[in-house]
Amino acid sequence: MGAGADLRRIGCLFFFYPYKIRKGRTAQKGGLVSKISSNSSEREKVDTPLYQRIKNMLIQEIGQLEEGENRLPPEEQLAKRYGTSRATIRESLADLIRHGYITSWQGRGNFGHPHALDLNMRFDITTTFHELLVSAGYQVEIEQSIISLDDPSVEVLEHYPEWEGEDVFSFDWNYCAQGTPLIACKVQVLKKRMRYVLSRKKDEIKLTDYLRRFYNGDITYATTWFKATRNAEVSAMFQVPEDTPLLSWEESFYDLYDRQICFNQVFFHPRKIKPSMLLRT
Rg (CA), the chain: 22
- % of the chain exceeding 90 in pLDDT: 51
Give start and end residues of each alpha helix (H) in the chain: 32-39, 42-47, 50-63, 75-82, 86-98, 129-135, 154-159, 207-212, 232-238
Whole-number Å distance between alpha carbons of 37 and 19? 17
Helices (H) and strands (E) in the chain, counts: 9, 9
Given a contact cutoff of 8 angstroms between Cβ atoms, the answer to whether 137 and 120 are in contact is: no
Per-residue model confidence (pLDDT) at position 101: 87
26-53 confidence digits (pLDDT tens): 433 334 443 334 344 454 455 778 888 9
Q: What's the mean per-residue pLDDT of the chain?
A: 82
Could you give the CA distance from residue 207 to residue 130 in angstroms, rounded to a whole number? 10
Please report the pLDDT score of residue 117 as a whole number: 82
The DSSP result for 41-108, as a single string, is: -HHHHHHS-HHHHHHHHHHHHHHTPBTTB-BPPPHHHHHHHHTS-HHHHHHHHHHHHHTTSEEEETTT
pLDDT over 70, % of the chain: 82
pTM of the model: 0.68
Closest CA to 186 of 216, 229, 220: 229
pLDDT tier, 276 (very low <50, low <70, confident <90, very high otherwise): confident
Cα–Cα distance measured from residue 174 to residue 248, given in angstroms and rounded to the nearest whole number: 14
Distance CA 50, CA 138 (A): 27
pLDDT tens-place string over residues 175-224: 999 889 999 999 999 999 999 999 999 999 999 999 999 997 889 889 98
Same fold, 32-118 and 129-268: no
Name the residue type at position 136: A
Q: Which residues, in sequence order, are CB contacts of 257 under 8 Å at separation 6+?
A: 217
The angle at the Cα of 201, spanning 199 to 206, to the nearest 5 degrees, equals: 130
Does domain 129-268 bear CATH number 1.10.8.60? no
Distance in angstroms (rounded) separating the CA atoms of residues 210 and 201? 7
Domain residue spans of the chain: 32-118, 129-268
CATH of 32-118, one of 3.10.450.30, 1.10.10.10, 3.40.50.300, 1.10.10.60: 1.10.10.10
